Amino acid sequence: MIDPPVSAPARGGARRLQGGARPPVRPGAGRFPVLLVVFVCAACGLVYELELVALASYLIGDSVTQASVVLSVMVFAMGLGSLFAKRLRCHAAVGFGLVEAALALIGGSSALVLYAAFAWFDEARYALVAFSLAIGVLIGAEIPLLMSLIQRTSRRADGEHDAAGTVADLFAADYVGALVGGLAFPFLLLPWLGQLTGALLTGAVNAVAGAALVLCLFRRDLSSRARWWLLIGNVAVLALLATATVLAADFESAARRAVYGEPVRVAVRTGQQEVVLTGARQGPLDLFLDGRLRASGRAEARYQPALVRPAMRGPHARVLVLGGGDGLAAREVLRYPGVRTVTLVERDPGMVRLARTDPALSALNGAVFRDARLRVVYADAFAWLRGAAQGGDGCGDRGGDGGGGYDVVIADLPEPGTAPGAKLYSQEFYGLTAGVLADGGRVAVHAGAIGADARAYWTVESTMRAAGLATTPYRAPAHPARAFVLATAGPPPRLGPGAVDLAPERMEGLPASTLVHPRYGE
């Protein structure tokens, strides 16, 4: 920005600007309000970004891909927004007011529209790209316009600028705001308000900050007509966001009904995941975790036995269940005579609490959490195994009752392609699992579908072999849609009746999935 010429000293030693607009406030007095708005806008912008990534990962899956799409499209769009802002620099105040009003409306409603696209049209990818592009353009336009505004408030008495200091202050406020927004989203907005209401509230804060700066500090730069239009526009945006906030609960209920197709009995966000129970109170119960069917009252008699039964052929006094906070795998294990202890490692206390207290879910798992043989440990399965292998405190003894390892390990974990799944299906994870096995101990893993996504299933099996386990892939005729892997640290385990050996169908040559090179989703 080129500074206007400075006149000779006026009477009384005061100087004034010529050839340009009068500063809106006393030089230096408006610097802090502008930096405060920079801070708020940066925080809001990062919340929009994280909201899109989180909701897309939940709705579409494959969190790495969704994060890559959102981040790359947004960064590209921010460059476009910066170029677009060049045309507005001569009208920086009104331009910034319009940009913030649009950003508040689009960013605040992004989660709601994305969820609606998924619920009613079963396609959220196009909406995700569109919102990433629009929000990125508007965020990219903020900094050039704010730079013009802060220069208006930062002239020294001699009419000169401290350009380097202005840029440093502007970006410092922007980065600190991004930090606050990035921390507020997972620790405040998401657990307390949820994804929809959190985004709507962020949009309202964004609108208030932008309107307050322009209409209060830079009102002299606006014509009377422009001031009224900006005021009416921001009031309309706030009214729309407030209305959407009031109706968010009803909208979410309707969207859930569209997604699940059943009466939703329970829908809670535990802090780790969204848990939904569907079905009539006296009818079959379906359990969804983050939108994916986890257990069905119609099929529970097939899935859990298919996972547990082959592993229980042999010694099974000490059993470790990884995941399975719904209690269904533990219920199946405790049906076998000779089981002395079962250790269940679950990362989500909210899931276990629901499985204990919900009448329908408790009936489905046979009130297993009342069994004295079951011990529940709240921990991440990977971290717990690592501590158990190292003999660390807080992980329990390696055998559950002072023995020399677990006779059976049941891995009833999220799908490999989900956010926590890649780590829990890695070579490192299976190496730790082998370390807690007793001599002759067996591991049973639910490894996903065997149909269209067969490559992911065989990658799990290949990864287990790379960790030193001898594997036998199999499926149960009663549950053909899912496939499993049974493994030991010794010779390949033999399957009992009711299981179909899939070894003849093995896909050879698949590389193992590791922490630094996850293979799922390739």
Q: Are 464 and 414 in contact (CB under 8 A)?
A: no
**Residue 96 CB burial class (10 angstroms; 0-12, 13-18, ≥19):** buried
Per-residue b or e along 40-74, where b marks 16 or more CB atoms closer than 10 Å to that residue's CB: bbbbbbbbbbbbbbbbbbbbbbbbeebbebbeebb
Strands 292-296, 318-323: pairing kind: unpaired
412 is catalytic: yes
By the 8 A CB rule, do 308 and 333 touch? Answer: yes
CB 459 within 8 A of CB 417: no
> Residue 67, Cα to own-chain centre: how many angstroms?
9
Torsion of the alpha carbons at 303, 333, 344 and 352, rounded to the nearest 10: 60
Choose the catalytic residue: 174, 250, 412, 453: 412
Give burial (CB, 10 Å; 0-12/13-18/19+) of 372: exposed
Q: What is the DSSP letter of 213?
A: I
CB 445 within 8 A of CB 414: no
Chain center to CA of 217: 38
Task: Give whole-number Cα distances, 81 to 86, 126, 128, in Å.
Answer: 9, 20, 18
- The residues assigned a catalytic role are 412
